[in-house]
Chains A and B, each alone.
Chain A
Amino acid sequence: MASSSENSSSVGMPQLDFSNFDNQIFWLVIFLISSFLVIRILVMPRMEETLTNRRKIIEEDIQEAEEFKDRAIEIEKNLNSEIDNAKITANEILRNCKEEIKKNTQDAISEIDIKIEELVKKSEKNVENIKFEAKKEVEILSKKLAPEIVKVFVR
């Protein structure tokens, strides 16, 4: 058969040499079955295991990241509420301070008013006194001067 295939090869296509089809098909089936078994038994379980394993790890990582994200959001929320509380407290303190300052100022003003009034009263009294003294002195002086003046006219 070998010599005949050599003869046919120099002209036509070796592919159309039907004499060795049985050999080709036999070996093809042998290697087709063996590669199928290799893939079915050795390759696929390992490959599926690796791929599922990886998928699982990635899913777990994503879940973990999601949890971290949730926690971060919660922390942010807490932080915001604390900031809000602090703001409210600060406002209250500020308001209280303002009120206190106002009150203090009011007190000081009213105290000063009282003092001023007292001083005015005192000075008024002083003036009255002085007026009274002056009047008295004028009276005394006029009493003293009146005979003198009369004397002058009489003369």
Chain B
Amino acid sequence: MASETSAFEIRPMDQFIISPLFSEGELNWYTFTNQSLWMLIALIGIILLFVFGIRKGEVVPGRMQSVAEVIYVFVHKMVSDIAGQEGLKYFPYIFTLFLLILFGNVLGLLPYSFTFTSHIAVTGVLALIVFIFVTILGFVKNGFKFFGLFWISSAPLPLRPILLIIEVISYFVRPISHSIRLAGNMMAGHAVIKVFAGFAGIMGLGAVAPILAIVAVYGLEMLVVVIQAYVFTILTCVYLNDALHPSH
């Protein structure tokens, strides 16, 4: 179904291609790409909402300030609920993670945009930073006791070696599942929309069913996009809590 049948050619993955924006040809490590552009737009979005939105700091907030405050308090509460008061020390980074992923995801739903959170390189780095930081923090805070995370003292003794293996494996799988969950969700949703859009393009004016499907999937994606940002953040909090209180 490659280049011969060009009329029926749907390329759902083309939207994820990274290409240089201002220069042709070679893609160096410093080249400004469409991905970098959308990261920049996400940053601008964050600045617009969270710097200009709360500029006035009113006691009775307006629209922008309300939204910004709701998101801020939401993440703040999430961190303090899951990781406790000590976890609040790391709130700025967790909030940054949440905002960057949320804006990346939501902006990615715009037509012709680029979803940088659909790239495993991006989510992998984000997850690895969390993983490495949390592991180091666990050892620094608890020392040898951090191994208590793998040695389940509440389980019966014969089961503990088996649980140890399972726990160690699951611990090291964390960054992989953490990153692939986000990237996979973003990629799948966008690819599905693109496939239906391709059908619609082929069918022309009579494409009622594909367009309805796009609307439905788009609505679902609106949900998924926010939930995945939430899931990534809440898992970060859970991992952080494991590092701060490994005995639980």
Contact = CB atoms under 8 A, between A and B. Distances in A.
Nearest to B187: A15
B108 to A, nearest CB: 13
A40 B92 contact: yes
B11 A46 contact: no
A29 interface: yes
A22 B31 CA distance: 10
A141 B55 CA distance: 139
A62 B170 CA distance: 50
B178 interface: no
A15 B118 contact: yes
A26 interface: yes
Nearest to B47: A38
A39 B95 contact: yes
B interface bracket (residues with beta carbon within 8 Å of A): 35 or more
Contacts of A10: 2-3, 11, 14
A134 to B, nearest CB: 115
A9 B13 contact: yes
Contacts of A49: 57
Given A14-B13, A32-B100, A38-B46, A5 B51 contact: no
A24 B119 contact: yes
Interface residue SS majority, chain A: helix
Given A14-B18, A35-B43, A39-B99, A1 B69 contact: no
A20 B18 contact: yes
A24 B50 contact: no
Interface string B12-27: 0110111110001111
A30 B130 CA distance: 17
Contacts of A14: 13-14, 16-18, 119
B117 to A, nearest CB: 10
Contacts of A86: none
B229 to A, nearest CB: 14
Given A23-B29, A46-B57, A15 B119 contact: yes
Nearest to B14: A9
For B17, B31, B32, the residue with the greatest tally of chain A CB atoms inside 10 Å of its CB is B17
Interface in B163-221: 183, 187
A38 B31 contact: no
